[in-house]
């Protein structure tokens, strides 16, 4: 076994260390900050059915698979103990930690704490799945995105990503706020993926999309026979499903007031009681919320509990609106390549005029609206959006109206164009605009002045 270049011991020490590591019964591998394998012991080579020279110098994901997080750990993004990993059909329980020298991270090491996954489960039959944090359900709730999926450059986006990293390191509630389509859910996924709870479930609930009379059962679950037409054996709620991981409450400002007190009690006691149940159930989870509404205004109006607001608003993060960013052309190019690849089409080139239009538009629908415009560009070959040219010309006059009026005008024009294209079908128009149907109805109501 070859030791990495940063091993500073004598030849005798190196020989002894190689002997020890090769005789360790469990698998061990080390990577540098780029995720390149610099050390791998004999047991791991046997599991991988190869020799050390077959794996040294290769990226860890190419050898072990994309499910490993060792390359993230080597860049200083978290550490993981009890992380489940399947390699070549073998289920391992691993420890993945950074390697430091003089206070600087120079790599990471991964060690299989248990090479026999089934034996581990039998040994700890009295420990809950949440405590072990080992997913055993093939339909396990998982985060689908990470920090690398948040595309952007410049000081604003750098500060935003730093805020997400900071929040992920503390097991405290996070409140993300921002406009519709700005990427609040993406932020929640990234926080979970960076945290020590990343091996646990990531469960999401949209508080605005569930009828108010069903929200309680959706969150807390219900016992068998709790109400008519319910499952006879009962059903766990999202709070139970998120045990050991993260619960993402989207559009928290739309949670019914009567249910906010029950959520507050969960935060205070870490216990829930199912609808129709009598026995409390202990849970361990982290809550990340998102809102596009000014919650303090809702508190003042008596529509959101002040005590719950302060419980949830421990680590507030503002998701930048697209019009505040200076990297829109860069973001557009990256999104164009991604969308074109998904559609199986060639990636268009942004001309100078396209870049000017991208920077001159207010983007009321934010990144979601940008993705829709770029999708149309790939299909039609032209970058255009309703009333774009007139919006651009208005912006250059001395009588420019206030920003909120320009945004309103552009939004109204987009809605008219979408309804015309879908022949009045509001559901399809909402999909085309990249907003929810409920949001479209609210905008139409505002247009009519009701």
Tell me the per-residue pLDDT of 311-326, one tens digit each, with 9 for 90 and over: 999 999 999 999 999 8
Residue 9 has pLDDT above 80, yes or no: no
- The residue with tokens 């006879």 is 232
Q: Which of 66-70, 286-290, 336-340, 415-419 is predicted with the least confidence, judged by mean pLDDT? A: 415-419
Bigger pLDDT: 236 vs 165:
165
R_g (Cα) of the chain, nearest Å: 26
Q: Is the pLDDT of residue 128 over 60?
A: no
| Average pLDDT of the segment spanning 143-160 | 90
Which residue, 85, 73, 2, is CA-closest to 40? 2
- In this predicted model, what pLDDT tens digit does every residue of 334-376 receive, in sequence order? 999 999 998 999 998 888 888 888 888 889 999 999 999 999 9
b/e sequence 51-85, b meaning 16+ C-beta within 10 Å: ebeebbeeebeebbeeebbbbbbbeebbebebbbb
- Give the mean model confidence (pLDDT) for residues 388-394: 42
| Residue 111 to residue 81: CA distance in whole angstroms | 10
pLDDT in tens, 14-54: 555 666 676 665 788 899 988 999 888 888 888 888 888 88
Q: Strands 80-87 and 246-250, how do they pair? A: unpaired
Handedness of CA 45, 48, 51, 57 (dihedral sign): negative
Domains of the chain: 11-126 (3.30.450.20), 147-318 (3.40.50.300), 325-448 (no CATH)
pLDDT tens-digit map of 420-435: 777 788 887 777 776 7
Name the pairing type of β-strands 315-318 and 174-177.
Answer: parallel
> Torsion angle of alpha carbons 191, 197, 199, 200, nearest 10°?
-110
Indicate the pLDDT class of residue 98, thresholds 50, 70 and 90: confident
C-alpha 371/C-alpha 434 separation (Å) is 9
Average pLDDT, the chain: 79
Q: Work out whether strand 271-272 and strand 281-282 pair parallel, antiparallel, or are unpaired.
A: antiparallel
Q: Hey, what are 365's tokens? A: 């629908």
Secondary element (H or E) of residue 84? strand 80-87
User: Over pLDDT 90: what percentage of the chain?
Assistant: 26
Mean per-residue pLDDT, 134-162 = 79
- pLDDT tens string 227-247: 444 445 678 889 989 988 999
pLDDT of residue 23: 61
Q: Tell me the C-alpha to C-alpha distance, in Å, between residue 228 and each of 182, 223, 232, 314.
A: 40, 12, 9, 39
The single residue listed with the structure tokens 């698998």 is 27
Query: What is the pLDDT confidence band of residue 188, given thresholds at 50, 70 and 90?
Result: very high
Instruction: Report the range of poorest mean pLDDT among 128-132, 204-208, 359-363.
Output: 128-132
Which residues touch 414 (CB under 8 Å, ≥6 apart)? 364, 365, 369, 385, 386, 387, 433
| CA angle, 54 then 58 then 63, to 5° | 75
pLDDT at 408: 61
pLDDT band at 449 (very low <50, low <70, confident <90, very high): low
Rounded mean pLDDT of 264-289?
Answer: 87
Helices vs strands, H then E, count in the chain: 21, 14
Q: Which of 204, 183, 178, 180 is nearest to 192 (CA)?
A: 204
CB 276 within 8 A of CB 225: yes
Cβ count within 10 A of residue 138 = 5
pLDDT at res. 391: 44
Q: What is the pLDDT of residue 124?
A: 44
- Across 77-81, 91-95, 116-120, 373-377, the highest mean pLDDT is recorded for 373-377
- For residue 114, the model assigns a pLDDT of 59
* Mean pLDDT, residues 64-89 taken together: 80
pLDDT above 90 (res 185): yes
Q: Is the pLDDT of residue 135 over 60?
A: no
């Amino acid at each position: 076994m070859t030791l990495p270049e940063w091993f500073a011991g004598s030849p005798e020490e190196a020989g002894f260390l190689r002997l020890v590591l090769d005789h360790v019964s469990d698998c061990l591998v080390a990577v540098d900050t780029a995720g390149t394998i610099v050390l791998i012991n004999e047991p791991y080579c046997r599991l991988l059915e190869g020799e050390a020279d077959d794996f040294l110098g290769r990226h860890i994901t190419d050898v072990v698979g994309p499910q490993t997080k060792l390359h993230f750990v080597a860049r200083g993004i978290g550490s993981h103990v009890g992380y489940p990993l399947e390699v070549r059909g073998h289920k391992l329980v691993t420890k993945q930690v950074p390697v430091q020298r003089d206070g600087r991270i120079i790599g990471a090491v991964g060690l299989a704490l248990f090479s026999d996954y089934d034996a581990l489960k039998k040994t700890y039959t009295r420990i809950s799945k949440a405590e072990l944090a080992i997913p055993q359900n093939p339909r396990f709730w998982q985060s689908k995105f990470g920090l690398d999926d948040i595309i952007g450059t410049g000081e604003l986006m750098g500060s935003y990503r730093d805020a997400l990293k900071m929040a992920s390191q503390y097991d405290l509630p996070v409140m993300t706020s921002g406009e519709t389509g700005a990427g609040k859910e993406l932020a929640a996924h990234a926080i979970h993926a960076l945290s020590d709870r990343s091996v646990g479930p990531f469960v999401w609930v949209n508080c605005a999309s569930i009828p108010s009379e069903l929200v309680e059962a959706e969150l807390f679950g219900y016992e068998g026979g709790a109400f008519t037409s319910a499952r006879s054996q009962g059903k766990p709620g999202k709070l139970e499903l998120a045990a050991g991981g993260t619960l993402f409450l989207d559009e928290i400002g739309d949670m019914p007031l009567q249910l906010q007190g029950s959520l507050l009690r969960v935060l205070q006691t870490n216990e829930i009681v199912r609808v129709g149940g009598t026995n409390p159930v202990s849970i361990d989870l982290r809550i990340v919320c998102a809102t596009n509404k000014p919650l303090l205004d809702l508190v003042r109006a008596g529509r959101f509990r002040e005590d719950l607001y302060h419980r949830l608003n421990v680590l507030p993060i503002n998701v930048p609106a697209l019009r505040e960013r200076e990297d829109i052309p860069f973001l557009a190019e990256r999104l164009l390549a991604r969308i074109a690849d998904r559609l199986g089409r060639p990636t268009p080139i942004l001309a100078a005029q396209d870049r000017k239009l991208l920077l001159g538009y207010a983007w009321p629908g934010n990144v979601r609206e940008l993705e829709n415009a770029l999708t149309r560009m790939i299909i039609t070959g032209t970058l255009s959006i309703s009333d774009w040219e007139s919006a651009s010309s208005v912006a250059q006059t001395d009588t420019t109206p206030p920003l909120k009026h320009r945004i309103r005008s552009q939004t109204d024009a987009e809605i008219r164009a979408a309804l015309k294209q879908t022949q009045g079908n509001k559901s399809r128009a909402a999909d085309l605009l990249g907003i929810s149907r409920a949001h479209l109805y609210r905008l139409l109501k505002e247009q009519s002045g009701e």
